[in-house]
Amino acid sequence: MSEYRRDPITGRWAIVAESRAARPNEYLKRVAPSAPEDCPFCPGHESWTPPEVAALRSPGSAANGPGWTVRTVPNKFPSLAASARPDGRSPRSEEVDRRPGYGVHEVVIETPEHGSRFSEFPPETAGAILAMARDRVRALSELPEIASVITFENSGDESGGTLFHPHLQLVALPSVPLSLAEELSGARRYAAARSVPCALESVVATERAAQERLVLETPTFTAYCPFASEYPFEVRIVPRHHAGSLAEATDAELDGLSTLLPAVLRALEKVRPMASYNLVLRSFAPVDRLPTEYHWHLDLLPRLIRPDGFELGSGIPVNPVAPESAAQELRGALGDVAR
């Protein structure tokens, strides 16, 4: 049983989820990659997970058995529970604000192949995973009292991930997290001050003109290292077409992303072999109440260094690789790894 707790001074929320301690390998970081025979996401082990909520399957294969290529299941160790839907009776006062840990936590198992990486996926595999992510964002957005869907992939020892088998996660929340709310209010402020319709498109136009932080451009997406990158080799991937959520992405856009995303990940792995990373979707939900000023995007956040006391104390990350140098290295690597 988990709960949201709000700090009485800063107003920031935390999720206290004691059951998460039961996650596999929680206290055993840097364990050797698990073997397929012990892996709950490998084919043949479908009964080890809760029953699937969606799957791309070969014709004739039965649900919760082998024969899938992409499979979505509820998280067996969720941070939040759908059964904890608030009843309005939770104690709230000036001093104490705690609420049941309502939310939905799903896992998209990206492939039956245990040791593979997103960077290695051919476009059709990457495209099927992205289409599943879009469809699950849509489905979770329609649930009652859901205000945002956080979508992410953890990859590697330093990413916080605990299972070796490649998977995405979706966490649907009853509130808009402060970081997303701040990004939206910043986008509104920027757009109003400059009389532009979309802040992110304006920033992307500046980056395309300047070139120095560009990583890759395609007809549907622009990838660049943000001017104030917080992480070394951070890459922001922005669709050309304006939309507030991945839920609105077209098949043509997902086709474009299914080539671009593995290429950018391969470039990162070339410049920093075995780099851990978090891939985070910045996207609003539900789709019927999208803020018109927000433009969805993906942030690739390589985890090459750990924050120190200054960074935790100040909230100011120290990035030892200038985004201009990072972009130059990634462009060079892309030249080498281009198909």
Interface residue with Zn ion among 71, 295, 297, 303 (CB under 5 A) is 295
Number of alpha carbons in the 13 Å side-chain half-sphere of residue 187:
21
Dist. CA 296–CA 200, nearest whole Å? 9
Contact region for Zn ion (CB under 5 A) — 10-18, 57-65, 159-167, 173-181?
159-167
Question: Phi and psi at residue 209, in whole multiples of 5°?
Answer: -70, -40
Closest CB to Zn ion among residues 134, 295: 295
Contact region for Zn ion (CB under 5 A) — 135-143, 190-198, 223-231, 329-337?
190-198
The arrangement of strands across the sheet holding 104-109 comes to 54-57, 68-74, 104-109, 167-173, 148-155, 277-282, 297-302, 235-239, 221-224, 214-217
DSSP 45-106: -GGGSSPPSEEEE-TTPPTTSS-EEEEEEE-SS-SSBGGG---S-S-B-SS-BEEE-B-EEE
Dist. CA 112–CA 44, nearest whole Å? 10
| Chain centroid to CA 308 | 24
Q: Tokens 């990373």 appear where?
A: 277
Q: Does 167 bind Zn ion (CB under 5 A)?
A: no
Report whether 242 contacts 303 (CB < 8 A): no
Interface residue with Zn ion among 76, 98, 114, 270 (CB under 5 A) is 114
From the number of C-beta atoms within 10 Å of its C-beta (0-12, 13-18, 19+), residue 40 rates as middle
Q: Does 284 bind Zn ion (CB under 5 A)?
A: no
Closest CB to Zn ion among residues 254, 263: 254
Contact region for Zn ion (CB under 5 A) — 10-18, 102-110, 204-212, 295-303?
295-303
- CB 200 → Zn ion: shortest distance, Å? 5
Interface residue with Zn ion among 158, 201, 253, 293 (CB under 5 A) is 201
Dist. CA 293–CA 310, nearest whole Å? 34
Q: Does 102 bind Zn ion (CB under 5 A)?
A: no
Closest CB to Zn ion among residues 248, 269: 248
* Binders in 222-251 for Zn ion, by CB under 5 A: 242
- CB 13 → Zn ion: shortest distance, Å? 28
- CB 196 → Zn ion: shortest distance, Å? 9
* Binders in 25-84 for Zn ion, by CB under 5 A: 39, 41-42
- CB 202 → Zn ion: shortest distance, Å? 9
- CB 292 → Zn ion: shortest distance, Å? 9
Q: Please report, as ranges, the residues that interact with Zn ion according to CB under 5 A.
A: 39, 41-42, 114, 165, 198, 201, 242, 295
